[in-house]
Structure 1
Amino acid sequence: MSAPPELPEIVTRAFDVSRKRGYASFCRNETGRLLATLAATRAGTLAELGTGCGVGTAWLRSGIREDATIVSAELDAKLAEAASEIFKGDDQVEVVAADWSTLRDRGPFSLLFLDAREPKDSGADAIVDLVEPGGVVVLDDFTPCSSWPPVYEGRVDILREQWLTDDRFTTVEVMVAEDASVLIATKR
C-alpha cells in the first residue's frame, strides 16, 4: 500500500494557520483535492464564500491556472486577516474581510466554492447569478445519502433536494470519503 500524496505546500501553510488559531472547521483533504482538480479546469475568477483560515482557498490555489484568480470572502475579520497572510504577495489570490454578498459585484465566477451549513445562503436562488453559464458550484459538508428524497438527521434535506432538482443547474452528489460528500453543480 502506498502513502497518500503529499499536501501542497500552500495547503500545509493554511493548516498551520488554522491550528495556531484553534480553528477546527476547514475543508477536508478529499474535498480539497477535488477543488484543486476543478480549479485546474477553470479560467477567469474563482470564488470562495467563507474563507475561514484559508484551507479551501489554498486547495483552490494549488490547482489554479495562470489565467485565473481567486477571491475569497470571510465575515470574521480576524480569520480573514490570518488567511490573507498565507497568500501575501500572491497576485492570484485576494481574501476580503466581508460578507459573501459583497462579492456579487465581482462575478460572475467560473467556479464558486461554499460551505453548505447555512441553507439560506447556499440555496440555488442565492447563488445562481454569481456563476457564469458553464460555471461550477461546489458545496461541501454533506453526509452521503442514498435515499430519495435525501434525508439528513431524520428530515428531508431540502437544500440538497433543491440543488439536485433545480433546472438551472446539472448537479451530482459525489462521495469524497465514506462519511462525506459534496454537490457539484454546473450552471446551464
Structure 2
Amino acid sequence: MSAISQVPAAFPEIDRQTRESGFTMPSEILTCSLLRTLAASKPAGRFLELGTGTGLSTAWLLDGMDAASTLVSVDNAAEFLDIAIRNLGTDSRADFVCRDGGEWLEENQHSRFDFIFADTWHGKYLLLDEALALLNPGGMYFIDDMLPQANWPEGHDLKVANLRAVLAARSDLDVTELDWASGLIIAVKK
C-alpha cells in the first residue's frame, strides 16, 4: 500500500491539537483519504457530518469538496469542536453546529443531503432511520469503525453486528462493506 502523499493544509495542526487535547477517537488517515475521494464525487453536494470531533475527517471532506458544495458538521463536545472551528472555521462552505446529534437529526428532518458521514452514535446506532431519511436519491451514507477496535466497550460487537444486518436488509440502499482501514460501510440510496 502506498503512503498518502498529500494531506489537507490544516491537517497537521489539527492532528497536533487533537493529540494535545486527549481526544482518542479520530478517524484513521486511510478513512480520511477515502472521504476526500468520495466527497469529490459529489459536485455542488450537500454534506452532513455527524460527529465532528476535532475536525480531522472534516478537513479531508472539505479538501475533496468543490467550491459549490456545503457541509454541516455537528458535534456536542464544544472543547473538541473548537479545534475544528479554529482550524477550519474560515471556510465558508462549512457550518459547525455544537448540538446533540439526536436533537439535530430530529429537528432537521426537512433537510436533504448528498453525503452523510455518521461518525457518532446518532445517525449510526441511534436514529439511523432519521439519518437515512435525509439522503437524496443517489446520496451516500458512510460509516467507519466496523472492525473490532481497542476502545470498544463490552458488548459493542453485538451493536456493530446488528447495524450491519439492518443496513444489509434495507431495500432502499445498495450497501458495500469494506474490511479495510477501521472497517467501512458505504451505502447509496436508491
Whole-angstrom distance in 1 between the partners of 2:53 and 2:59: 11
1:82 corresponds to: 83
Q: Map 1:56-95 onto structure 2 (within 5 A).
A: 56-95=57-96
Match of 1:126 in 2: 130
Q: Is the 8 A contact 1:11 1:62 kept in 2?
A: no
Moved >4 Å (runs of 4+): 116-119, 152-156
Q: Distance in 1 between matches of 2:180 and 2:110?
A: 30
Q: Is the 8 A contact 1:115 1:122 kept in 2?
A: no
What's the counterpart of residue 114 of structure 1?
Answer: 118
> Contact 2:125–2:159 at 8 Å: present in 1 too?
no
**Structure 2 residues not aligned, in runs of 5+:** 149-155
Q: What residue in structure 1 maps to residue 152 of structure 2?
A: none
- Between the aligned partners of 1:87 and 1:106, the Cα distance in structure 2 is 26
Residue number in structure 1 paired with 2:140: 136
* TM-score between both structures, scaled by the size of structure 2: 0.83
Which letter maps to 2:13?
Answer: R
Letter in 1 for 2:173: F
Give the distance between the partners of 1:106 and 1:78, measured in 2 at CA.
29
Letter aligned with residue 35 of structure 2 = L
> For residues 98 and 20 of structure 1, what CA distance do their matches in structure 2 show?
23
Q: Deviations over 1:73-122 (max 9, x none)?
A: 00112222221111132101121101224252572111000126565426
- Is 1:21 aligned with 2:21? yes
> Does the 8 Å CA contact 2:36/2:64 hold for their aligned counterparts?
yes
Shift of 1:155: 8.2
Sequence identity of aligned pairs in percent?
A: 30
Structure 1-normalised TM-score? Answer: 0.84
Alpha-carbon distance change, 168 to 60 in structure 1, aligned in 2, over 3 angstroms: same
Is 132-141 or 97-106 further displaced after alignment? 97-106
Tell me which residue corresponds to 1:184.
186
Q: CA RMSD in A?
A: 2.4
The amino acid that maps onto 2:131 is I
* Superposition deviation, residue 2 in structure 1: 6.2
Equivalent position amino acid for 1:9 in 2:
A
Shift of 1:21: 1.0
Give the partner amino acid of 2:97: V
Cα distance in 2, alignment partners of residues 131 and 185 from structure 1: 10
Q: Which structure's residues are more often strand, by fraction?
A: 1
Structure 1 gaps, min length 5? 145-151
- Residues matched between the structures, number: 178
- Aligned partners of 1:2, 1:52: CA distance in 2, in Å? 27
